């Protein structure tokens, strides 16, 4: 059965709008886990626009499978090395972006990424790389020593109104999942997934876990977080 990871960054986004203490990201994590989530994902950005250092520390205390998304900036690597969450996903990061745009260029930064993987990966911490469905990037991910990859599904999701392009992107993801598995990499996926477009990603070969956030937090405004997570869990765990 495919696992469901819930990204709660945007709970913190709402809190940070007024620099208050609510909504509480730890309470959001507890509700998500009780409602069918298998893991909790947070992105500790360099600009700290939503998740804060204290959030990660608090979540590490009680979340069994915390997935920390992070850049390869030395400061963030140092924090991750100290906290040692169960999972770490290295992602690209630009200050001006609204959200992560595209996959990590492992080919172009292989030396630095390999260094970070070697620093953070251990028996207790799995390191994943967030990458586009590209064979060269997958080869580089394997060469870096990472145990897992997370396929960037953002382009697939962005083609919702262009079915021909969306099917072509889905085929790229299908081929990438097969190739990654052949390399011995754990295959995860995420970014831009919503209730209406997740089924085809669930059907991809060798899929281990999907990480979904924004659409679930949006849905929770109307039905509550517990129900929003349950609805997505039905989709993801139907396999």
- Could you list the active site residues? 43, 69, 191
DSSP 8-state class, residue 88: E
Q: Mark out the alpha helices in the chain (DSSP H runs).
A: 9-16, 25-34, 53-62, 74-83, 110-120, 135-144, 154-158, 163-182, 199-202, 214-223, 225-236
CB atoms within 10 A of CB 172: 17
24: preceding bond cis by omega (within 30 degrees): no
**Cα-to-chain-centroid distance, residue 92:** 12
Task: Tally the residues of the chain.
Answer: 239
DSSP 8-state class, residue 50: S
DSSP 8-state class, residue 66: E
Which residues is 41 bridged to in the sheet? 7, 67
DSSP 8-state class, residue 101: -
Structural contact between residues 117 and 147, judged by C-beta atoms closer than 8 angstroms? no
CB atoms within 10 A of CB 25: 25
């Amino acid at each position: 059965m495919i696992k469901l990871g819930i990204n709660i960054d945007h709970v913190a986004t709402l809190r940070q709008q007024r620099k208050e203490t609510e909504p509480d990201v730890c309470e959001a994590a507890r509700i998500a886990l009780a409602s069918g989530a298998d893991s909790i994902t947070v992105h500790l950005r360099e600009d700290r626009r939503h998740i804060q250092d204290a959030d990660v520390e608090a979540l590490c205390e009680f979340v069994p499978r915390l997935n920390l998304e992070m850049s390869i900036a030395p400061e963030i690597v140092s924090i991750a090395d100290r906290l040692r969450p169960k999972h770490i996903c290295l992602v690209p990061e630009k200050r001006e972006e609204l959200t992560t745009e595209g996959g990590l260029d492992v080919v172009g930064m292989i030396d630095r990424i390999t260094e970070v993987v070697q620093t953070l990966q251990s028996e207790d911490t799995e390191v994943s790389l967030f990458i586009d469905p590209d064979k060269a990037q997958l080869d580089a991910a394997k060469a870096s020593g990472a145990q897992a990859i997370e396929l960037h599904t953002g382009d697939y999701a962005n083609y919702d109104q262009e079915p021909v392009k969306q099917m072509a992107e889905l085929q790229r993801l299908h081929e990438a999942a097969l190739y990654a598995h052949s390399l011995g990499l754990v295959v995860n996926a995420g970014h831009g997934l919503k209730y209406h477009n997740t089924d085809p990603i669930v059907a991809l070969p060798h899929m281990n876990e999907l990480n979904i956030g924004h659409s679930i937090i949006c849905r929770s405004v109307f039905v509550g977080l517990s129900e929003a997570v349950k609805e997505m869990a039905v989709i993801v765990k139907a396999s």
